[in-house]
Amino acid sequence: MIIDTREVQDINSFSRFESLQEVYGTVWILVPILILVVGITIGVLVIVWLEREISAGIQQRIGPEYAGPLGILQALADGTKLLFKENLLPSRGDIGLFSLGPSMAVISILLSYSVIPFSYRLVLADLNVGVFLWIAIASIAPIGLLMSGYGSNNKYSFLGGLRATAQSISYEIPLTLCVLSISLRAIRSNSLSTVDIVEAQSKYGFWGWNFWRQPIGFIVLLISSLAECERLPFDLPEAEEELVAGYQTEYSGIKFGLFYVTSYFNLLVSSLFVTILYLGGWNLSIPCIDFPQLVEINEAGAVFRTTIALFITLAKTFFFLFISITTRWTLPRLRMDQLLNLGWKFLLPISLGNLLLTTSSQLLSLE
């Protein structure tokens, strides 16, 4: 039997080409995810710096000023310090749960960014149920907090984990009802995609925002998102001024840093969803002006439109971040009973009434 060596070489070269294509395809899939993670990390560093500068201005003191120009590298210096600090483990705790808790909290929040549209084409996954995917993923984070408190083998940490879980569940229900009210208004397009919800608000510019149609839901969602992020006045699970920091008490080093970063990840994603659901996302807020027609339809024009849309989205988002930061340094902390009463006795009935009102208006408009 005679084997043609040229055919064998052709087959080998073809198989190598196929394998290179598979590797290239895999790398190309990971590139958008990497860009998103890097962008989110840079955004969190900017938020930390802004919070320190704004809090210094409110309290009439000097903020960070030594690490980099205007102290902009102070957050990066703090993160580097936590990265190299000793990682302590409780001697009689559940090491598996203790180590898995921070990771679960971070991953659940990072997955929420996959359905956030920063522009019409700038979204990692445009899913038909993108809004409810965010709610489903966000409900996983309290499990990580409870695992952290239980795995620490510390009664104060365990009580802090229970507090965090109770607080998260209490405010997730009104938040979900507000999102459901928005979804009922978008259900005519047979899609609950975040991109479609933004596009549905673009018809009348500023007056087409869901903020005008759902003002009650906007206020309830804003309060619930602050409670979900455990920001003042809702920071009872890990009160910052106390020595016992709730479920974070036994953590040190990079694991403590993960909890610290998770709170800012959650704050950023909550502000982004407020922008998308109620403030028209990336749309220009001027009626009777079609923003895509302001520039030529070519590759350079598409890049320019995407950049401007990204800037508009981030400008609206950072406006709500400013509100959250000033709220932290303005209002006193609630007691635990006041926190739960606010969630169950006030926000839940109000959000439920808003949902019933939205449902009634939708039924009347269909008739």
HEC readout, 84-153: HCCCCCCCCCCHHHHHHHHHHHHHHHHHHHHHCCCCCCCCCCCCCCHHHHHHHHHCCHHHHHHHHHHHCC
Please name the residue ranges forming H helices in 201-347. 210-213, 215-228, 253-278, 299-328, 336-341
**pLDDT recorded at residue 14:** 47
What is the enclosing helix (H) or strand (E) of 183?
A: helix 155-186
Q: How far is CA 225 from the centre of its chain?
A: 10
Mean pLDDT by groups of 10 residues along the chain of 367 residues: 50 54 69 84 88 87 82 85 85 86 88 86 82 85 88 86 87 90 72 82 81 90 88 74 76 87 89 90 67 53 80 90 87 84 91 89 72
Per-domain residue ranges of the chain? 85-364
Alpha carbons 40 and 44: distance in angstroms, whole number: 6
Alpha carbons 187 and 355: distance in angstroms, whole number: 14
Q: How far is CA 192 from the centre of its chain?
A: 18
Q: Quick one: which of 365, 150, 99, 122 has its CA closest to 254?
A: 99
